[in-house]
Amino acid sequence: MITVIGSGYVGLVAGACLAELGNDVVCIDTDAAKIDMLRRGEVPIFEPGLESLLRRGQEAGRLEFTTDYDLAVSRSTIFLIAVGTPPEEDGSADLRHVLSAAAAIGERLTRKAVIVNKSTVPVETAAKVEAVIAERLQARGVDVEFSVVSNPEFLKEGAAIEDFTRPDRIIIGSSDAWATEVMRNLYAPLNRRQDKIIVMDPRSAELTKYAANAMLATRISFMNELAHLSEAVGADIEAVRRGIGSDPRIGLRFLYPGCGYGGSCFPKDARALIRMGAEHKVPLRVMQAVEEANRRQKHALFEKLATFYGGERELDGKTIALWGLSFKPDTDDMREAPSRVLIEDLLSHGAQVRAYDPAAMKQTRQIFADASRLTLCPSAADALEGSDALAIVTEWREFRSPDFDEIASRLKDKAVFDGRNMYERSVTDTAGLAYFDIGRNPVE
Catalytic residue positions, numbered: 265
Closest chain position to ligand NAD (CB): 8
Q: How many residues does the chain have?
A: 444
Cα 45 from Cα 332, distance rounded (Å): 7
Q: For residues 392 and 323, is the Cβ–Cβ distance under 8 A? A: yes
Q: Which of residues 245-304 bind ligand NAD (CB under 6 A)?
A: 264-265
Please name the residues in contact with 387: beta carbons below 8 A apart, sequence gap of 6 or more.
Answer: 319, 320, 321, 354, 410, 411, 412
Cα 164 from Cα 159, distance rounded (Å): 9
Residue from the set 29, 47, 231, 330 that interacts with ligand NAD by CB under 6 A: 29
Binding residues for NAD(+): 29, 34, 85, 120, 157, 268, 335
Site stretch for ligand NAD (CB under 6 A), options 58-66, 149-157, 215-223, 287-295: 149-157
8 binds ligand NAD (CB under 6 A): yes
Residue 248, class by beta-carbon neighbours within 10 Å (0-12 exposed, 13-18 middle, 19+ buried)?
Answer: exposed
Cα 123 from Cα 128, distance rounded (Å): 10
Residue from the set 63, 80, 83, 149 that interacts with ligand NAD by CB under 6 A: 83
CB of 102 to ligand NAD, least distance (A): 9
Residue from the set 20, 153, 330, 395 that interacts with ligand NAD by CB under 6 A: 153
Site stretch for ligand NAD (CB under 6 A), options 9-17, 52-60, 252-260, 379-387: 9-17
Site stretch for ligand NAD (CB under 6 A), options 29-37, 194-202, 238-246, 417-425: 29-37
5 binds ligand NAD (CB under 6 A): yes
**Inter-axis angle of helices 96-106 and 125-140, nearest 10:** 30
Partners of 390 in the beta sheet? 321, 416
Q: For residues 148 and 206, is the Cβ–Cβ distance under 8 A? A: no
7 binds ligand NAD (CB under 6 A): yes
Closer CB to ligand NAD, residue 94 or residue 176?
Answer: 94
Residues that bind ligand NAD (CB under 6 A): 5-11, 28-31, 34, 82-85, 97, 100-101, 119-120, 153, 155, 157, 264-265
